[in-house]
Amino acid sequence: MTAKNQAHAHYNSCINRVIDYIEAHIDEPMDLATLASVAHFSPYHFHRLFTGLMGETLHQFIQRVRLEKAAAMLINQPHESITQVALACGFSSSSTFARAFKETFGQSASQWRDNPSDSKICKTDRNIDQHVDKYCKTFHCSLPYLDPDTKHQIWRIQMKDETVNVRVETLPSMDVVYVRHVGPYKGDVQLFENLFNKLFTWAGARGLMQSPDLKVMTVYHDSPEITAEAKLRISVCITAPPDTAVDGEVGKMTLPGGKYALARFEIGGDEFENAWDTVFGTWLPQSGYQPDERPAFEWCHNNPQDHPEGKHIIDICVPVKPL
C-alpha cells in the first residue's frame, strides 16, 4: 500500500470511529470537541477532514442521520408518539423536530407516517409498494408454533417449492471488526466480494479466521427507501475479541444484543431483495412484532462457491419488539 493510500485508510478509520460513536449516542447531545476527540484530531482539522471525506458537514451528517432514523421509526413503530420518536433521535423538542422534518421531507411527521410515498425525497413510490405487495401476497405464512427444544417461536413461509423458517430469539451483543462501504450496493455482487476479500485477508493474517465461533455478517446502517443511494452505508463484518487492534480501513464496533427475527434463506445472488421483501411484507405484518432502531443484518452461513448451486445460506436478522 502506498503512503497516500495508507493516509486515506487512516482518515477513513477515524471517520468510521466517529460515525459509530454518533450512531451509538444518537439520542444524546453531541459537540464538535467530543467527536474530534473520538477521531483523535483537533476540532479545527477534524471538521475539515469530515467535510472533505463525507461531502457534508458534521452538523449536516448528524441532522440527516437523526431525521432518517426518525423517518424509519415513524413507519416501523406506529405506536410511538411523534414526540417520543423526536427525543429518541436526539432532538431537544418536538417543535425543533417538526421544523427540521418538514424542511427535509416536504411534509409533516404525521403526514409521513400516513403516506411516506408523498415525500419529496422518499425513494419508495407506489410502484415499488405494489411490487412488494404482489410479491409477498403470493406466499403463505403459517401461525407460529413453539419449538419444543429451544422454546423459540417459529413461523413457516411457503415460497413456491421452498419453506422458509422464521424464528424469534434473543441474541447477545457481538464485537465485530468491519470494512465499510458508502454508496450504491444493490445487485453489485463484485462489490460485496471485494469487501469480504479485503476483510478476510486482513483477519486471516491476524489469526481471526480460525475462531470456532466465527460469525460473518453484513450490517445495513440505512434504509434504501429513505437514504439517498450515494449515502447508503453497509459494513461487512466478522466477530472478533473486543481487544482486537484495528488499523487502516478496518474498524470495530459492537452490534447490540436483544430480540431478533431470524429468517433462514437459501438463495441466489440476485434474490436478496426478494428475501428481504418476504420478511417485511409477509412475515412482519402477521407476527405481532415491529422493527426497533437497532441495525438489521445478514448472517452468512456458507461460502456460495462451495454450494453445489452457488447459493447463499443466510439468516436475515431483523431487530424486533412487540407491537
Please check whether residue 238 lies inside any domain of the structure.
yes
Q: Is the pLDDT of residue 310 over 80?
A: yes
Q: Which long-range contacts does 61-64 make (Cβ < 8 Å, 24+ apart)?
A: 61/19, 61/22, 62/22, 62/30, 62/90, 63/100, 64/104, 64/231
pLDDT in tens, 87-139: 999 999 999 999 999 999 999 999 999 887 665 555 443 333 444 444 444 45
Q: What is the CATH number of the domain that holds 289?
A: 3.20.80.10
- The percent of residues in the chain predicted with pLDDT above 90, rounded, is 54
Please check whether residue 132 lies inside any domain of the structure.
no
Q: If you average pLDDT over every residue of the chain, what do you get? A: 86
Region 143-167 average pLDDT: 74
Please check whether residue 153 lies inside any domain of the structure.
no
Q: What residue type is 277 in one-letter code? A: D
Region 172-193 average pLDDT: 93
**Measured between alpha carbons, how far is 301 from 315 in angstroms, rounded to an integer?**
8
CB neighbours of residue 84 within 10 Å: 13
Higher pLDDT, 5 or 123: 5
Please check whether residue 148 lies inside any domain of the structure.
no
pLDDT of residue 151: 65
Whether 10 and 100 map to the same domain: the answer is yes
State the total domains in the chain.
2
Q: What is the CATH number of the domain that holds 53?
A: 1.10.10.60
Q: What domain range is 25 assigned to?
A: 3-118
Q: Taking a C-beta distance cutoff of 8 angstroms, is the pair 250, 178 a contact?
A: yes
Residue 134 makes CB contacts below 8 A (sequence gap 6+) with none
Q: Taking a C-beta distance cutoff of 8 angstroms, is the pair 190, 164 a contact?
A: no
Please calculate the CA angle 296-222-113 and round it to the nearest 5 degrees: 95
Whether 201 and 101 map to the same domain: the answer is no
Whether 114 and 179 map to the same domain: the answer is no
**Measured between alpha carbons, how far is 156 from 283 in angstroms, rounded to an integer?**
9
Region 259-265 average pLDDT: 94
- Tell the burial category of 317 from Cβ atoms under 10 Å away from its Cβ (0-12, 13-18, 19+): buried
Whether 82 and 179 map to the same domain: the answer is no
pLDDT interval class at 237 (50, 70, 90): very high
Please calculate the CA angle 38-59-57 and round it to the nearest 5 degrees: 90
Whether 177 and 107 map to the same domain: the answer is no
From 86, 118, 150, the end of a domain falls on 118
- The percent of residues in the chain predicted with pLDDT above 70, rounded, is 86
**Measured between alpha carbons, how far is 56 from 180 in angstroms, rounded to an integer?**
18
Please check whether residue 53 lies inside any domain of the structure.
yes
Higher pLDDT, 201 or 3: 201
Q: CA-based Rg of the chain, rounded to a whole angstrom?
A: 20
Q: Taking a C-beta distance cutoff of 8 angstroms, is the pair 49, 14 a contact?
A: yes
From 77, 99, 118, the end of a domain falls on 118
Whether 182 and 71 map to the same domain: the answer is no
Region 165-194 average pLDDT: 93
